[in-house]
Amino acid sequence: MKRRLLLLLPLVGFLLLSGFLYMGLSLDPFQRDSALLAREFPEFQLSTLEDSEVLVDESLLKGEVTLVNVWGEWCPTCKQEMPQLLSLAERGVRLIGVDYKDTRAKGQEFLEEFGNPFEVNVFDPEGDLGFELGVYGAPETFLVDRDGIIRYHHTGYIKPEDVVQTILPEVRKWQ
């Protein structure tokens, strides 16, 4: 009897492991919360996309509620998202862009072609700021309150309905 139970042990282990893997595959990675929520925006000092001589840092995000959008020319979803960002800018939402893992020329071409809703574009060619933010792909958007604290994190593409149903209410909440 004990011998039969020992023979079933690998089968039980396999079934348990399979169950955990199945549960993990059913999780939506876009529903994860940022570990930076309710924390200060990470320190950085980078140039702007427009001018390599102009340096900006995290103080750029203090004093006004700001959406920080991480984007890249190489990102097809960023192109789809641009009309929503332009709409947010037209509605008076302050946007700062982070051109992530890009070249300066390609980033500038992207903005010329798709529009530029950003007050400032931080140039992050090595992805250092993106790493500090926990970005694993573009686009990602962070809402930063007037004290420089991250209050909301949107992973992935901002759909047109997200503007009205999620983003604008979050901006108003922290203004």
CA-nearest of 131, 148, 143, 147 to 173 is 143
- Structure confidence at residue 130 (pLDDT): 95
- Structure confidence at residue 112 (pLDDT): 97
Alpha carbon separation from 120 to 51, 87, 116, 123, 163 (Å, rounded): 10, 17, 9, 10, 21
In terms of average pLDDT, the best of 34-43, 101-110, 129-138 is 101-110
* Domains in the chain with CATH codes: 35-174 (3.40.30.10)
pLDDT at position 30 over 80: no
- Structure confidence at residue 37 (pLDDT): 82
Q: What are phi and psi of 91, to 5 degrees?
A: -85, 5
CA-nearest of 172, 141, 144, 173 to 158 is 141
- Structure confidence at residue 22 (pLDDT): 65
Whether the CB-CB separation of 90 and 68 falls below 8 Å is answered with: no
Which residue is listed with tokens 């960002």?
85
How many CA within 13 A on the CB side of residue 24?
6
- Structure confidence at residue 57 (pLDDT): 97
Which residue is listed with tokens 């893997």?
21
- Structure confidence at residue 164 (pLDDT): 95
Confidence of residue 29 (pLDDT cuts 50, 70, 90): very low
> Whole-structure pTM over 0.85, yes or no?
no
Whether the CB-CB separation of 134 and 36 falls below 8 Å is answered with: yes
Cα distance from N-terminal residue to C-terminal residue, the chain:
69
